[in-house]
Amino acid sequence: MTEHVDVVVIGAGGAGYPAAFLLDRAGRQVVMADPIGNLGGDCLAEGCIPSKAVREAALAYQRARTGVLSGARRSEVDGGDRPASSVWRAILEHKDRVQRLRYDQHRREIDASTVRFVAGSAHVISESEIEVTTASGAIERYRFEHLILATGSAPSRLPIPGAELAVTSHDLFRLGADLELPARPVIVGGGYIGMETATILEHLGAAPVVLEATDQVLPGFDEDLARFLERSLKGRVQLELGSAVTAIERRGGEFVVRYRQQAATSTDTGLQEGSVAGDLVIMATGRISVVPEGVEHLGIDLDRHGPVVDAGLRTTNPRVWAPGDVNGRSMLFHSAVRQSTVVAHNVLAGGAIADRMDFSTVPFTVFTDPELAGVGLTEVQARERYGDGSAVVVGTYDYAVDARAQIFGETEGWMKLVFDAHSACLLGAQVAGIDAAQLIAPLAIAVRERLSARALAEVAFPHPMVSEGIAKAAREVLV
Ligand code: ADP
């Protein structure tokens, strides 16, 4: 039997559940399906939440060993002679606790709503129907007025021999993850997942090697931030840039990763073969969009990123919406949440585009140590967009003079605010160093609301916090 409902949401991650709850509260009949059987998607199952739980614990461990207290009470703060493996187990237990806590919280949210949540995998069977196969093998069929495709993304693997020998972020961070702490991990890919993992493992005493195909870490991110991270990691993480991995082999109890590297000298344009051995290979080569089986029945256009969407996140079928990772535009949980609310508003408007997604003001964060974050335009992008050099002014702030950075003993870092010289509106901001991910939130508001340097300079930011730097950098462009 097929049940007719207003909205079907496939996927209960950041792109799915905010819309489901919003539409439910507005009186729409909503069915939401996800095989995980709870909310949070990959972010909670194996992404942002567990990786940050591990990261913060590793950072606490590293700060106790090498931070401001390292000269005193050393044996107490570094855990005496506890082996790294027992610290690692405690960290994984902490991670599991955080995941369980959030799953319990989400369970209560599901119970408090009237959304019908189906634990199962959905596939499309016609232009207006889906079928969900539940864990027990039961089949439920729904006809919809609107369909929200929020099926997210999954880690991608390079199509190379031996790719199956590598683990992914899923194996490292899933609930109940039980990988041993590697001593010499080889990380394939220097994007944000690869770099975050490298600094976490380095804090726990590992000697990571990162193989990155392009000539900077964090390809696609602001070059200033990427170069700052590269410099800061010297002596901590071995970075092999311009290195395209070609194969992974097992040798005894170890793995050998083969790569082709651009020759170092400008006169030699050839490629050199190289290899590196390690006790774990982590594939961190990005994520790819996931669409449900039978998606072809919907008649929507797909490109290499995923479903093609307009500013209202509507696909080429006006009754089908595709917010979040699935559309490949910006694979970030907070972006997915905002996209989800955009879709809910448009569904409530009867399918008209009443709300639009502004991707240009979505901040990004990289939880390496040092931490990085940015929003809006970089100086280079602003100069390109506004033509001549005089149209852009930049205010900077150096962590070397910042009270909080000094208190933490972590004075490497900076903040950069990029303003339109004529209107003095903030166009973008980049932050490198402690608290970067927190600082980017007020800066994202400022970029989105096009606040002026004067407006930022006139805020009394709390002392002694790094946010004081926002007013100081803004004052720099007023004189
Ligand atoms: P986003 O941040 O865009 O929400 P996530 O990857 O975090 O992306 O979440 C996507 C969710 O979609 C995951 O929980 C996944 O289990 C779910 N999902 C993927 N394919 C299906 C499917 N065919 N049926 C139901 N749920 C699905």
Question: How confident is the model at residue 67, as a pLDDT?
Answer: 80
Instruction: Give the pLDDT score at 80.
Output: 47
Model pLDDT, residue 266: 54
Residue 10 in contact with ligand 1 by CB distance below 6 A = yes
CATH class of 163-285: alpha beta
Torsion of CA 401, 402, 404, 408, to 10 degrees: -40
Other CB atoms within 10 Å distance of the CB of residue 226: 22
In terms of pTM, does the model score above 0.85?
Answer: yes
* Sequence-separated (6 or more) residues with CB below 8 Å from residue 93: none
The answer for residues whose C-beta is within 8 angstroms of residue 256's C-beta and 6 or more apart is: 248, 249, 250, 275, 276, 277
pLDDT for 267? 61
Q: Is the CB of 315 under 6 A from ligand 1?
A: no
Q: Is the distance from the beta carbon of residue 140 to the nearest atom of ligand 1 less than 6 Å?
A: no
For residue 34, the CA-to-ligand 1 centroid distance in Å is 6
**Separation in Å, CA 187 to CA 122, 263, 292, 378:** 34, 21, 30, 28
The percentage of residues in the chain with a pLDDT greater than 70, rounded to a whole number, is 95
Degrees, nearest 5: CA angle 272-278-280:
125
76: pLDDT confidence band, cut at 50, 70 and 90?
very low
Distance from the CA of 108 to the center of ligand 1, in angstroms? 20
CATH 3.30.390.30 domain position(s) in the chain: 370-476
Which residue's CA lies nearest to atom 19 of ligand 1?
151
Residues of the chain with CATH 3.50.50.60: 2-154+288-359, 163-285
43 ligand 1 Cβ < 6 A: yes
pLDDT digits (tens, 9 = 90+) for 179-201: 999 999 999 999 999 999 999 99
The mean predicted confidence, pLDDT, of the chain is: 94
Neighbours of 401 (CB within 10 A): 11
- Determine whether the shortest distance from the Cβ of 278 to ligand 1 is under 6 A: no
Nearest Cα neighbor of 210 from 224, 196, 222 is 196
Can you tell me which atom of ligand 1 is nearest the CA of 339?
Answer: 3
For the residues 69-95, what does the mean pLDDT come to? 71
Q: Reply yes or no on whether the pLDDT at 72 is more than 90.
A: no
pLDDT in tens, 40-65: 999 999 999 999 999 999 999 998 88
Q: Which residue's alpha carbon is nearest to atom 6 within ligand 1?
A: 152
Residue 256 pLDDT > 80: yes
Q: Is the CB of 289 under 6 A from ligand 1?
A: no
| pLDDT value at 156 more than 80 | yes
Pocket test for ligand 1, best of 34, 48, 132 (most atoms within 8 A of CB): 34
Q: Is 23 exposed, middle or buried (0-12, 13-18, 19+ CB in 10 A)?
A: buried
Average pLDDT over residues 215-238: 96
CA distance 16 to 151: 8
Instruction: Say whether domain 2-154+288-359 belongs to CATH 3.50.50.60.
Output: yes
pLDDT for res 386? 82
Residue with tokens 């039980």: 178
- pLDDT bracket for residue 342 (50, 70, 90): very high
Cα 120 to averaged position of ligand 1 atoms, centre (Å): 11
Q: Residues 247-268: what's their mean pLDDT?
A: 85
pLDDT reported for residue 64: 87
pLDDT over 90 (residue 18) = yes
The pLDDT of residue 77 is above 50: no
For domain 370-476, is the CATH number 3.30.390.30? yes
pLDDT digits (tens, 9 = 90+) for 369-420: 999 999 999 999 999 988 766 799 999 999 999 999 999 999 999 999 999 9
> Tokens at residue 120, please?
């199962």
- 290 pLDDT above the threshold of 90: yes
Q: 290: Cβ below 6 Å to ligand 1?
A: yes
Q: What pLDDT was estimated at residue 65?
A: 85
17 lines ligand 1 (CB under 6 A): no
Spatial CA neighbour of 51 closest among 236, 199, 197, 229: 197
